[in-house]
Structure 1
Amino acid sequence: MVDRLRRLRPRLLRLLRLLRRLRRFVPRSVRARATFAATAVVTLALGGSSVALLAVLHTNLLRTARDSAVEQAGKVVELASREHLPPVLSPRGGASVWVLDADGKPVAATPDLLFRPLAAPPAPKLPGPHAPVPPAPVPHAPGPDNGLLPYPSGEPPLMLGPRIHDRRQQVITLSVTGPDGPLTVHAAASLRDVDAAGDTTGTALAVGVPVLVLLVAAVTWRVTGRALRPVEAIRAEVAEITGHDLHRRVPVPHTGDEVARLAVTVNATLDRLEDAGLRQRRFIADASHELRSPIAVLRTQLEVALAHPDPELWPELLADALEDTVRLQDLAADLLLLARLDAADPVAVELLDLTALFADALAARTADRIPVTAQLAEGAQVLGNRTWLTRLLTNLVDNAQRYATSRVKVQLALQGPLVVLEVSDDGPGIPAADRERVFERFTRLDDARSRELGGAGLGLAIARDLAGHHGGTLSAEPARTGARLVARLPKAGAEQD
């Protein structure tokens, strides 16, 4: 077996090389490939069907001819078994029948197998008075063993014709013993009708199949072209769209098919790209504005310190400069974290107990303006990054500390497959119309107060991205007083349960 596979290996390699060469002749466009595939399939199907049709037709006609010969031979056998056969058999079908005795001499035959005497020649002209009279022809008298069949009623004998030697016949041979002794009955059905039917059908198929294949190719080419015309329009429109033309959209055909859905999807993608571009430009403008303000203040403080080298003013100037430097550092850290979240860089995750993690994070907050009240349920375990989940809690508590009047409350609870973190305060709250807008970057509902308290409008945006990277959500929900921010994270092992 191994030797045989080794011998076949060169042939397989040659076949693979041949197939690779043929790939160069395969059309590249979808329209041409679809037409080629449809034409090839129809050609194979019609070719196979034509061959099968001709085979079935030939088989049925042969069976019909054989049945006719068997039927005629059976009738002669039945007649020969009862009585003497007449020399000339009455034709009862399309088959020719001849009967031979034990010595192979003809006994009976159907009329189509017999030689009849020719018609009498025309009378010769009378000779002139001096013309000799031609002698009369002497008819040949056949002997008893010359293969001639006697006519009934003393008529001249008949001789079997050459048709019994025609090869395009279906011949059936039967034996019978009757009053004439042992006889052999031959019945032959002509196959000329079979050949004629096969030739006619083959000619019709030879003409019809190519015409039908060409028709299928033309229809496929036209239908495919019309179907792909919207795709070409979409491609041309997308090719012309640049970073400055994201407002343009591709045409949507009214067909409601896959091409229409493709156009809708492309337009939706362009909507997202345009929105991303707008948000990026707005983010760059806001970041530049946020960075310009503390840098300008820091520069002013340094210029004042240089212009007034009074040692008594330096502590105040240095304290203000340090505050602005810390603000710049925090803003740069927030921008770097947002860039990392947008890039979806992988981070290390582990099984964390949020109860212990949040308790430690809240215990470390010793300089809060308002003490934090915490209610942390036991068994709140999630898969996540320790630093990012701590930052999530810190941003929510910082936001509450910025606006609270006298109360900041943190609750950690279990709700089915979710771990729910809720941070609330008794501040002015968030209007219902702004509960989504507060999560946009550099968004401040009270711009003057936020700048005074040191907020850049990135804390809640970062918190929502952190919750989303852990498979959770963050939303601002209604509250009786103040603001209420709720983060929902999947509990560890919830999918396995």
Structure 2
Amino acid sequence: MPFAKESFFNTISFRIFAFFWLTFSLLSILIFSIPYFDSRIYSELSEKELSAYQQEIITSIRHNQIARILAGVPLSHAERFDGIRPVLVDDVDDSSILGATATEIPLLTQFMFSSSDPTRPLKKVFGDVRIVGPFSIHLGGEANKSYTLYFIDRVNAQKEIMSFVFANPALLVGLIILVSTPLLWWLARSIGKPIRNLQMSAKAVALGDFKINKDLETKGSLELRQVGQSFNQMTESLEELLSSQQVLLSSISHELRTPLTRLQLALALLRRRFGEDNTEIHRIEIEARRLDKMINDLLLLSRQQLHSHVSREIFPINELWEEVLDDAIFEAKHRKLNFVVRQNITQPARYYVNGNKALLVSAIENIVRNALKYTQSEIRVSIFLKRQELMIVIDDNGHGLDEAEYEKIFQPFYRVDETRTRETGGTGLGLAIVANVVKEHHGAVWANASQLGGLCVTLCIPLWITS
């Protein structure tokens, strides 16, 4: 039967990508969520810092910085960019901000929105501006008013390009993707390519090619190279095992043939002595021929199991049935049987099969000849494509089989009827050979009841799909 199409989502390359982007997404969410949970964004002052800023308030009053701010004296260049300077906000009208530049007012307004408790002053950095506050002060004398005081000073700014990147999260994410994607793709390829090589080598072994692939031991990560080395060792062991079985099979064949040949020679001598009409000698000859055929079939089955992938070729599918059916039609006409062929494939020469043509043709011929043996008057052969498989269905109108025997007939040495087997000369290995051939070509064969009243045997052989 055909292999199920593997989903791309099950590949190791996709999994690496998926887990990477999942991790990256979670990290991105975490990074962008930190500002909402990290207290350091608006940090509380330590005891030491609080004492220092309280001292700074006293210094500002002594040096008349507060007075100059209230008097509207413009800030000097040094006051704007060097050191710490106070900013006043009217408690009655918080939109009245004194001592801040035009660029600092929006920053201070944002800071005031998040930090408005004088008993718990905070600090925060906006680019190159640090704001600390609020502190509550009350000015006596003529002013006799309360103000909220903030301190502003300059800090070392990050480089402009980095500031721009960090100020634009989308650009930061895009930069990470741009840098990481080629690296990650290289990682996925470096892991996936050795695995694909291993997969191709495994398929080659399944098709009978026991050639060692040294790339499995030299390319890829350490773990994959170790797996490749173990795979090559397994391949060598399989080749040695099959070679030893081949030698054993040849020895068994010779040992079985020798006594059978002697038996046939003795029968020839007996026939010469007692004549051609001796019933006992004739009976022994029949059994000797049956034994010879059984040995041939058994050796053929064993050789197929050992060498099923040898002499494979890619050939058009019509070469499987044309000669077999021509011979069968000729025999059916001679026996006055109705032999119908329904070939429902347009231009079958366009489709191909990868396999041992002689074995596949023999399997089809075996089923057709069984139908010729057991049919009463009619045989129907249907040939068509189903998905990516060649289907050959052979029906007859013989006596058929019980449903319980549909699977058993493909087992070695299984006989439906001993009497019928003796009459037709069967050994119980024909359909077992067919099943083995089809299985080795990744196909399937099964039997069921025919619409004609007899037996229906279906062959399913995968097509060779070119890229």
* Structures share fold, TM-score greater than 0.5: no
Rg bigger for which structure?
Answer: 1
Range into which the TM-score falls when normalised by the shorter chain: 0.3 to 0.5
